[in-house]
């Protein structure tokens, strides 16, 4: 017998139901609002925890490609958590209970990944387990819910699935490159614990049924003791000489006698050096729990922008035929802020520097120099770098300045905090950590060779270091990072 649906034809053969789905799909009952909310809250929790884990592990992860990818993925997770919070709020749900833990075993599952001991474990835990499981759980939801009644959730999840898929692909390629067969075998014992915890939690989406393991709480391994954030920035071997403060980039950049094309190189150095901003912002975000969610979302956006700024430097150097590892990319700034300042002080320093980038001598100047350099890529990089910094100044006004009675007070606090971190140029030299080698002539000569141009002797001779200077030189008015 034909169903009533089969006999129903849309008017003039138009696509039915606003393009959402077929009549057959919409005519099947789906999940209840209550069940949707229950599962969406789990997805929200997963994104929130992944955001936390990836952020917390940026600073001490030595490999630059992993630092930048964690910055990216943490930001994506923050955005999806934000979208889910909005959607859950639309589903008859006050009080929202978004800060509650959906299941203790789910909490233990993410705690274990957060506390994983090695990069390999972290990658396996995040990308083989959490991201994969989350993908499957979201897919399962999207198939089970009614595409007409729950169209707003499906829309949010469709986008999430796209980016969770991207993260999964990246994770697959990264583990292929870094985790060999031997290490995979070593990981098995700990990954079994994750498996047991996930099963005990009924899967990430809370729908898995496996009666065998539901009744006993699996033991924690790494997270048996509370997690301790590691604030020490680490770099891979390409970042040789990380205490080097031998080339004063700002002194060169603001010297009117220097040519714009050479200044472009110095700006690329400044961009790549910004990898220290994610390292220090991760420290602020990780050490300031209990803030409104918008704070984490905005700060993570800024953290990700700063990782992109570093990659802009990398790309620019490569495009100009320069081996960027010859420019000594220091971690002095993030190291000192993370170990000598409170999170509030570090935030103050960041805000103070970024406000300093707004006047005419800051980001606009850099963009104009980039245009003047005659390198079209430089103009693109600095154009967007400038736009991002305007956004960061706004983020600072939203989350940092309101802690003070006035903007002036907020700036003074940042200024004072920065002065607390006095120049350590002589100390690190005395301790034998660096000789502050002047790497500039080598980098400049490399760029000239790639371009087929003769080095300008006056430019080649540049030899001004950061000796005796606070990082912004005060008189120059430009910041070290940001």
Q: Which of residues 271-330 bind Fe ion (CB under 5 A)?
A: 274, 306, 309
User: Which one of 95-103, 133-141, 391-399, 415-423 is the stretch in contact with Fe ion (CB under 5 A)?
Assistant: 391-399
In our burial notation (b when 16+ CB lie closer than 10 A, e otherwise), range 216-235 reads eebebbbbeeeeeeebebbb
> Minimum CB separation from Fe ion for residue 313, in Å?
10
Q: Which of 52, 473, 118, 482 is nearest to 280 (CA)?
A: 482
User: CA–CA separation, 128 vs 131, rounded Å?
Assistant: 7
> Minimum CB separation from Fe ion for residue 392, in Å?
4
**Per-residue interface string for the shown chain with Fe ion, residues 255-274, x marking contact by CB under 5 A:** -------------------x
Q: Which of residues 438-457 bind Fe ion (CB under 5 A)?
A: none
Number of residues in contact with Fe ion, rule: CB under 5 A?
Answer: 6
Identity of the residue, 160 or 266, whose beta carbon is nearer to Fe ion in the bound complex: 266
Q: Are 296 and 71 in contact (CB under 8 A)?
A: no
User: CA–CA separation, 263 vs 253, rounded Å?
Assistant: 6
* Residue 396 binding Fe ion, by CB under 5 A: no
HEC states along 77-105?
A: HHHHHHHHHHHHCCCCCCCCCCCCCCCHH
Identity of the residue, 137 or 272, whose beta carbon is nearer to Fe ion in the bound complex: 272
* Residue 392 binding Fe ion, by CB under 5 A: yes
Identity of the residue, 133 or 305, whose beta carbon is nearer to Fe ion in the bound complex: 305
CB-count exposure of residue 418 (10 Å: 0-12, 13-18, 19+): buried
CA 217 from chain center: how many Å?
33
> Minimum CB separation from Fe ion for residue 354, in Å?
5
Q: Is the peptide bond before 95 cis (omega within 30 degrees of 0)?
A: yes
Q: Which of residues 371-390 bind Fe ion (CB under 5 A)?
A: 389
User: CA–CA separation, 17 vs 19, rounded Å?
Assistant: 5
> Minimum CB separation from Fe ion for residue 265, in Å?
18
Q: Are 233 and 335 in contact (CB under 8 A)?
A: yes
> Minimum CB separation from Fe ion for residue 350, in Å?
8
Identity of the residue, 208 or 363, whose beta carbon is nearer to Fe ion in the bound complex: 363
Identity of the residue, 102 or 356, whose beta carbon is nearer to Fe ion in the bound complex: 356
> Minimum CB separation from Fe ion for residue 381, in Å?
11
**Per-residue interface string for the shown chain with Fe ion, residues 7-46, x marking contact by CB under 5 A:** ----------------------------------------
DSSP structural state of residue 227: P
Contact residue for Fe ion among 203, 231, 313, 482 (CB under 5 A): 482
> Minimum CB separation from Fe ion for residue 283, in Å?
15
Residue 214, SS3? coil
Residues engaged in binding Fe ion (CB under 5 A): 274, 306, 309, 389, 392, 482
């Amino acid at each position: 017998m034909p169903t009533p649906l089969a006999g129903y034809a849309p008017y003039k053969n138009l696509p039915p139901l606003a393009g959402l789905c077929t009549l057959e799909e919409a005519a099947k009952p789906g999940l209840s609002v209550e069940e949707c909310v229950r599962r969406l809250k789990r997805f929200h929790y997963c994104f929130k925890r992944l955001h936390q884990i990836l952020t917390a592990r940026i600073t001490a992860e030595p490999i630059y490609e992993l630092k930048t990818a964690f910055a990216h993925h943490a930001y994506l997770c923050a955005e999806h958590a934000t979208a889910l919070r909005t959607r859950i709020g639309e589903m008859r749900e006050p009080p929202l209970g978004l800060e509650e833990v959906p299941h203790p075993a789910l909490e233990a599952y993410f705690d274990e990944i957060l506390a994983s001991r090695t990069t390999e474990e972290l990658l396996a835990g995040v990308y083989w387990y959490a991201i994969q499981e989350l993908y499957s759980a979201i897919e399962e939801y999207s198939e089970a819910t009614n595409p007409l009644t729950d169209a707003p959730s499906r829309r949010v999840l469709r986008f999430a699935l796209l980016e969770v898929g991207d993260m999964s692909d990246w994770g697959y390629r990264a583990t292929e490159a870094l985790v060999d067969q031997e290490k995979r075998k070593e990981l098995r014992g700990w990954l079994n614990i994750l498996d047991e915890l996930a099963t005990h939690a009924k899967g990430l989406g809370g729908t898995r049924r496996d009666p065998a393991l539901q009744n006993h709480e699996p033991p924690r391994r790494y997270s048996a003791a509370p997690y301790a954030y590691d604030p020490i920035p680490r770099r891979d071997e390409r970042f040789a000489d990380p205490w080097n403060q031998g080339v004063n980039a700002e002194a060169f950049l603001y010297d009117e006698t220097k040519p714009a094309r050479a200044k472009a190189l110095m700006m690329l150095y400044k961009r790549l050096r910004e990898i220290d901003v994610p390292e220090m912002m991760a420290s602020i975000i990780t050490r300031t729990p209990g803030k409104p969610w918008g704070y984490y979302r905005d700060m993570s956006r800024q953290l990700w922008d700063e990782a992109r700024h570093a990659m802009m430097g990398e790309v620019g150097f490569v495009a100009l035929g320069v081996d960027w590892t010859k420019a000594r990319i220091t971690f002095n700034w993030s190291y000192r802020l993370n170990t000598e300042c409170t999170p509030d002080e570090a935030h103050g320093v960041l805000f103070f520097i970024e406000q300093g980038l707004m006047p005419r001598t800051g980001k606009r100047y850099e963009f104009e120099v980039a245009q003047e350099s005659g390198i079209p890529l430089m103009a693109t990089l600095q154009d967007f770098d400038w736009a991002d910094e305007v956004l960061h100044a706004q983020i600072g006004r939203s989350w940092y300045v309101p802690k003070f009675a006035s903007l002036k007070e907020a700036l003074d606090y940042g200024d004072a905090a920065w002065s607390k971190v006095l120049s350590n140029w002589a100390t690190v030299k005395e301790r034998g950590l660096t000789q502050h080698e002047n790497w500039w002539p080598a980098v400049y000569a490399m760029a000239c060779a790639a371009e087929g141009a003769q080095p300008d002797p006056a430019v080649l001779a540049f030899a001004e270091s950061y000796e005796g200077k606070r990082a912004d030189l005060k008189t120059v008015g430009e910041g070290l990072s940001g």
